[in-house]
Amino acid sequence: MTTKFSFTLKATDGKARLGVIDTPRGQIRTPAFMPVGTAATVKAMMPESVAATGADILLGNTYHLMLRPTAERIDRLGGLHKFMNWQKPILTDSGGFQVMSLSGLRKLTEEGVTFKSHVDGSKHHLSPERSMEIQRLLGSDIVMCFDECPALPADRDRIAESMRLSMRWAERSREAFGDRPGHALFGIQQGGLEQDLREESAEALKVIGFEGYAIGGLAVGEGQEAMFDCLDYAPDMLPVDKPRYLMGVGKPDDIVGAVKRGVDMMDCVLPSRSGRTGQVFTRHGVLNIKNARHQDDPRPLDEQCGCPACRNYSRAYLHHVFRSHEIISSMLLTWHNLHYFQDLMQGMRDAIAEGRFDAWEATFHAQRAEGDIAPL
Ligand SMILES: [Zn+2]
C-alpha cells in the first residue's frame, strides 16, 4: 500500500474524467460520491454497511466534531477513523461553511471567526490555523482549507472581497498544514458566478499549490442552470492532474451534470437525509414511500437494485415501517439511497472507461422521464 497521496487520471470522455486517488488508507475511485458522516456517523448506517454500498470515502464535519465530542477528545481516543470504526479515507470540511451559516451568532475578522455553539451557546474561535489543527487531531486524510462562502445572490463587491479573504486564508491554511506525507490539503475556489473572479481565485490557489482543488460557493441557492453555467468553465481553470471536488452537490441530475463538466468528487447529505424522510431515489426518479399507493405493492423499490432493502423487502413493508416510525425504515431507506448514489457513480465510471458517457447520460435522463414504474 502506498504511503503517499496521489491522483491518476485514467481516461476522459468529453470533459468527464475517470481516475483514482491513492492514499495510505486505500483507493478512491473517481468520479466519487462521499456520504456525509456529520457527527462521526452516517445516520442510520453501520460503517460496514456504508462500505457495502460502494463508498470509498466519507465526509466528516469539523464544526460539529469540534463542538461535540471535541477534536482533542477524538485525538486522545485514537483519531476519527478508530473512534467511528471507519478505516477507509475521510475528508473533513474546514468548519467555515457551517460557521458562516450561523448568521447573527458570529463575528468575522481578517484573523478568523468567533461564534457561539448551537449546542450550548459557548463561545468558540475558528481560523485557518485552528481549522488545520482540528483536522489534524481528527486524523483526516483530505483536509479542506478554511474559507468564507457568501450565500447567493450576493453583490459582486461582496463576492470579490470574500473570495480574496479566502485566498489569504488558503495561504495561511497551507502554511499551518505543514508537511504531512500521505495527507492532502485541498484549496477551494470561490468567486460566486463571476467568471473573472473564479479565474483570479484559481490562479491564486495554483500559485500556493495544493494536492487537490475544490469548487466552493455553489449549490447555495443559485439553481441548477446557474450552477451548470459556472461549471462550464470553473473546473477547466483547475489543474488537470489534480482531483476536483464540487462541495455539497447534490441531486442525482446535479451529480451527472457536474461529472459531465469535469468534476471528480462530490458530497451531499441528500441520500441519507431523504432516507429518513421517506424520499427514495430510483432510476425512475424520486418516490415517496409514505404515499398510500405503496401499501399493497409487493414489488421492491427498484427491481434492478441489489441493496438489502430491494432484495428482501416490498414497497408495502417499507411503507408500513415508515408509517409506523420504525427505526428499520430509516436504516433500509438510507441504505437503498446510498446504494443508488454509488451505483450511479459506478455507472458513470464504466461509461467513461468505455467512451460512452453521452449514451449513458441519455439513458439516465430517459429513465427518469418515464417516471416511476406504473402502479399496480
Ligand atoms: Zn435498493
pLDDT in tens, 24-72: 999 999 999 999 999 999 999 999 999 999 999 999 999 999 999 999 9
Q: Evaluate the CA torsion angle 269, 96, 40, 81 in order and state its sign.
A: positive
CA distances (Å), origin 123, targets 68, 69, 113, 347? 13, 15, 11, 46
Cβ(146)–Cβ(97) under 8 Å?
no
Q: What is the pLDDT of residue 105?
A: 76
Cβ(213)–Cβ(243) under 8 Å?
yes
DSSP 21: E
Q: What SS3 state is found at 35?
A: strand
Q: What is the pLDDT of residue 373?
A: 56
Q: Which residue has the cell 468567533?
A: 114
Q: Which residues surround ligand 1, an ion (CB under 5 A)?
A: 305, 307, 309-310, 336
pLDDT in tens, 268-305: 999 999 999 999 999 999 999 999 999 999 999 999 99
Integer Cα distance of 109 and 122 in angstroms: 19
What is the CA(348)–ligand 1 centre distance, in A? 18
What is the CA(223)–ligand 1 centre distance, in A? 28
What is the CA(337)–ligand 1 centre distance, in A? 7
- Is 6-267 assigned to CATH 3.20.20.105? yes
- The question of whether 372 is a catalytic residue gets the answer no
Q: Evaluate the CA torsion angle 283, 285, 291, 292 in order and state its sign.
A: negative
Integer Cα distance of 35 and 55 in angstroms: 7
Q: What is the pLDDT of residue 269?
A: 96
Integer Cα distance of 99 and 149 in angstroms: 10
Omega before residue 35 within 30° of 0, cis:
no
**Candidate list 13, 22, 93, 264, residue with the active-site label:** 93
What is the CA(265)–ligand 1 centre distance, in A? 23
Q: Which residue has the cell 449513458?
A: 360
**Helices marked H in the chain — which ranges?**
47-52, 62-67, 71-76, 80-84, 96-100, 128-138, 156-177, 195-208, 224-231, 252-260, 270-277, 308-312, 315-323, 327-353, 357-370
Beta-carbon count within 10 A of 242 CB:
22
Domain ranges of the chain: 6-267, 275-370
Integer Cα distance of 26 and 192 in angstroms: 34
Mark the ranges of the chain whose per-residue pLDDT is less than 50.
375-376
Integer Cα distance of 281 and 341 in angstroms: 8
